[in-house]
Structure 1
Amino acid sequence: MNTMIREAIGVGETEVLALEDAKRQLGIDESEVVEFEVIQRAEKKKFGLFGGAPAKVKITLKAGPAETAEEFLGNVLKNMKLESVYINKKEIENGVEFDLEGEDVGFVIGRRGETLDALQYLTSLVANHADNSYFKVTVNTGDYREKREKTLEILGRKLAFKAIKTGRKTSLEPMNPYERRIIHTSVQKVNGAISWSEGENANRHVVIGPDPKFKRYSRNNNSGYNRGRGGRRPYNNNSVKNEVNPDRKPLNEGSLDGLYGRIDK
């Protein structure tokens, strides 16, 4: 994919006036310094009556990754018949954040954010083909991604405690690498539970289960109770406490390239 290019040819009685005309066409301030090409120099009329020609100046602007991404995203929304959705752009260091607003913004989010993720992925591809260095692109609407992340954190922790209590594993729905990592991070902070990923490509999902290294306390365990009536439960050093361990490191889900990481060209 080629870098998006904007250009304009200005016409005027002199090269200076032609340059100003080209700047106006591109929406550039007249005081801004730009590179330009003189296509045709002004020629005066002979005897003030015959011949002569105006000056022509050409300005060519190569759009940066932020501008390229914004133009692409706007065209996609237009093709989706979502003209009511408008884009708020915020440039950050080595990246840009787009916040979408409007009446039909729900269509942009899609089922569990799938449409929003697809828009971000494609926009990131376009932006990173417009520049040689990595450029991070985030497409959000309101605080949807923040709410989604919080929901996944709570879900991961809840299912981790469930795995400890029941001794059974639970399979979640397929998720993208970023969301799977959120689940892994949440589960790994709970003592007695582990998580891993299964499946390939679009079917890859997280499974949460009890950690086999931790022994669960059971009434059926012969060492659990004294057989005599009124016996006291012995101290079990291997019993699991449902507590969060902030020191456990999250599972490495692998490269996040593709949706939220670097896009290889």
Structure 2
Amino acid sequence: MKEKEITVRSKTVEEAIEEALKSLGLAKDQAEIEVLEEPKKALFGMFGGKPASVRVREKKDPIGSTVTYLKAILSKMSVPSTVEVKKKSEREYTFQLSGDKVALAIGKRGQTLNSLQTLINLFANQQSEKIFHIILDAEEYRSRREVALQNLAYRMADKVAKTKKSVKLEPMPSYERKVIHAALQNNEFVKTLSVGEDPYRSIKIELK
């Protein structure tokens, strides 16, 4: 996204800033202001006078830019959605999608949602020196998926305990594997291992 920037000269620094903000359509708190040159009075009111010079640019807003980017992708997918941003910390955010066709943004077992999440994290981290971590959710899919994964973990653990045979689950993204690991970390009969390489890395449940 192209950054808004302008350099303005005027009689005073204040006038130059005001003119620049008006030209860019920004409020003062939305701008980064750099005074390039203070005004100089003309010698004897005739020679050597110089106007003030300021450079004003729009403050970078990586999260706002990422929301715009995400909406553009969803529009091309014919999935117009509302994006609610929830700030968990300076670097952690959740984007919650809602809309009539939002199921299309989730996809089979959340595969489309996971792909979109990867894209927006890459985009956000290209916009800033900070490292952001954005969770993309849709109609509370993530919490429902977490419950489903926990139930899967318990069922497979019981199966391994009864049959004495290990079970390998389907490939999952790292945060879903963490749910399985957490669900069974205190199980007295089985243990969990991550096996394989991304994007095909999966969980193996076996006897202790």
- Give me the TM-score of the superposition, normalised by structure 1: 0.61
Q: 2:39 maps to which residue?
A: none
Q: Does residue 81 of structure 2 align to residue 85 of structure 1?
A: yes
1:127 aligns with 2:124: yes
SS at structure 2 position matched to 1:173 = coil
Alignment match of 2:173 (pick from 170, 176, 179) = 176
Offset from partner CA, 1:229-260 (integer Å, 9 cap, x none): xxxxxxxxxxxxxxxxxxxxxxxxxxxxxxxx
Greater displacement, 63-72 / 169-178: 63-72
Question: For residues 47-84 of structure 1, what are the alpha-carbon distances to aligned partners after superposition, in whole Å with 9 as ceiling and x for unaligned?
Answer: xxxxxxxxx987422423212322221222122222x2
| Partner Cα distance (2:59, 2:148) in 1 | 41
CA distance in structure 2 between the aligned counterparts of 1:141 and 1:177, rounded to whole angstroms:
19
Task: State whether structure 2 residue 155 is matched by structure 1 residue 158.
Answer: yes
Aligned to 1:141: 138
CA distance in 2 between counterparts of 1:32 and 1:135 reads: 21
Counterpart of 1:130, as a letter, is Q
Which of the pair has more CA radius of gyration?
Answer: 1
Residues 147-156 or 129-138, more deviating: 129-138
The percentage of aligned residue pairs carrying the same residue is 30
What CA distance in whole angstroms lies between the structure 2 residues aligned with 1:145 and 1:27? 38
Note closer, same or farther for the CA distance 1:79–1:93 as it changes in structure 2 (3 Å cut): same
Paired position in structure 2 for 1:64: 61
1:203 corresponds to which of 193, 200, 204: 200
- CA deviation after TM superposition for structure 1 residue 144, in Å: 1.0
Aligned twin of 1:73: 70
Note if contact 1:94-1:136 (Cα within 8 Å) is conserved in structure 2. Answer: no
Taking a change above 3 Å as real, the CA distance of residues 197 and 8 of structure 1, as seen in their structure-2 partners, is: closer
Secondary structure, aligned partner of 1:35: strand
What is the 5 A alignment of 1:80-119? 80-82=77-79, 84-95=80-91, 96-119=93-116
Q: Flag structure 2 segments of 5+ consecutive residues without an equivalent.
A: 37-52
- What secondary structure is seen at the aligned counterpart in 2 of 1:115? helix
- CA drift of 1:190 comes to 1.2
Partner Cα distance (1:31, 1:187) in 2: 49
Q: Secondary structure at the match of 2:143?
A: helix
1:194 aligns with 2:176: no
